[in-house]
Amino acid sequence: MSCLMTMSQKELNRLEAVQKIKDRRLSVVQAAEMLSLSRSHMHRLLQAYDRDGAIGLVSRKRGRPSNRRHSDEFRNAVLDLIRERYHDFGPTLAREKLIELHRIAVGKETLRQWMTGAGIWTSRRERKQRIYQPRARRDCLSELVQIDGSHHWWFENRGPKCALLVYIDDATGKLLHLRFAPSENTFDYLQATKTYLEEWGKPIAFYSDKHGVFRSTHASEKDRTSGLTQFGRALYELNIDIICANTPQAKGRVERANRTLQDRLVKELRLRGISTLDDANAFAPAFMADFNRRFGKEPRNPKNMHRVLAEHENLDGAMCRKEVRTLSQSLTLRYDKVIFILDPTTHTKKLAGQKVIVCDYPDGRLEIMHEGITLPYRTFDTLRSVHRSQVVENKRLDDILAVVAETQAKRQQQRSKSAPRRTGQKDHMFGIRDGSTANGYQKRGTKPGRRTDFVSDPEVNAKSKKAIERMDAAE
């Protein structure tokens, strides 16, 4: 009667050695040395072969449970504990907690097998990856324009790290606009979109990620009248929709374009020695023309979906940051720690207690408007302090104000936290951070290393002591 027998390689080697001994081609001592066994153990293998044949050389432990295995009750208790308290733990961390908190010692691989068999743990290799199915291109030009900002060392070591704002058409894969900016901020996106709309017209919709410029849940980042971000409100005024993608894979057109630009555009900038934002923005149109000639595709439908601006749509008036303020009875309002005082004209005198709109433009202009009419104003910056020249004649106050000015120069006075970050805005009135700088005093810069304790600065203390001595002498 034949039977199926499983043997390991070690057992096959032993069977071969035993058969050679039986054929007198090998001695017992030589076979024992070849198999790294003792002579007595080799005789036991021969006796097992004479008694049971080749099956006598097979280990009898094969197919049987280990004598050192844990009992089923212990295994179930450990798994119940893991389900109750450590259901989302990996085997390594779960083993640490079992030892630390419960004094239960289980091997890591044993615990991994238990958790895998019970369906509590799945290895990363076996976890099912999310499937992103391809989406067909749109049919017409400007039916969907994908926008994104790519932070990269565009100038390598020749300049600072900056962001590239990319506008790419979904139907053709052509670059429609590029703008280098210090960062992704509202003012740069407003300026870039304004330039794009002036050149091409209005697309049907923009497709972006969930950056705070496009979609924000923070109340201070939203326009209070529409509930949208400032960028979203600007597009709404021009009848342009914006769609936020849920994953980066959804806007893969612009993501893949960013990867290509980070390779090709960086090298082109290096060959031309471009290391500033202005020079890079000047070179962008020529690069886009060459890029579109190489990689652009023809749309399935030749119709151009760009729309012209309507007569009632004001592109310059929409592409700005708008805040609603209420005028006080003295015709003043406060915006970013600056008090705006309206000129008391015949028209403005009637607006006390009414709401006006503060328009903060990317180029630094600021207008106060009411029903489309621009109101004249003058400003009073609350961060400015008393000018030193007004009290220079008083010898006692002059030294004291010098000490006060140095103290104010060390304060980190800031604008309102709810105000916009003005990285992409130029020539605005909010650049002065404190009054001492406005009055001409030189502010001490922060040097590398440990900060200086100005309270114990000998120079400051000497000036203070000198001023106090002058006060005592005058009295």
Residue 312 near residue 319, CB atoms below 8 Å: no
Rounded CA gap, 245 and 253, in Å? 12
pLDDT, residue 387, reads: 44
Q: Provide the phi-psi class of 452: left if phi over 0, else alpha when psi is between -120 and 50, else beta.
A: beta
Confidence of residue 397 (pLDDT cuts 50, 70, 90): low
pLDDT winner (highest mean) among 24-28, 280-284, 339-343, 429-433: 280-284
Give the strand pairing for 205-208 and 241-244: parallel
Name every residue whose Cβ is closer than 8 Å to that of residue 15 and which is 6 or more positions away in sequence.
7, 49, 54, 57
Q: Average of pLDDT values for 333-358?
A: 90
User: Residues 119-170: pLDDT tens digits?
Assistant: 898 887 777 777 777 888 999 999 999 999 999 999 999 999 999 999 999 9
Rounded CA gap, 438 and 386, in Å? 10
390 or 83: which leads in pLDDT: 83
Cβ-based burial of 389 (10 A; exposed 0-12, middle 13-18, buried ≥19): exposed
Ranking 242-246, 316-320, 438-442 by mean pLDDT, the lowest is 438-442
Q: Flag whether pLDDT at 433 surpasses 50.
A: no
State the SS3 of 441-460.
Answer: CCCCCCCCCCCCCHHHCHHH
Residue 204 near residue 303, CB atoms below 8 Å: no
Confidence of residue 447 (pLDDT cuts 50, 70, 90): very low
Token output for 215: 């979609």
pLDDT, residue 428, reads: 76
pLDDT, residue 337, reads: 83
pLDDT, residue 10, reads: 86
- Global pTM value: 0.61
User: Residues 232-257: pLDDT tens digits?
Assistant: 999 999 999 999 998 888 898 999 99
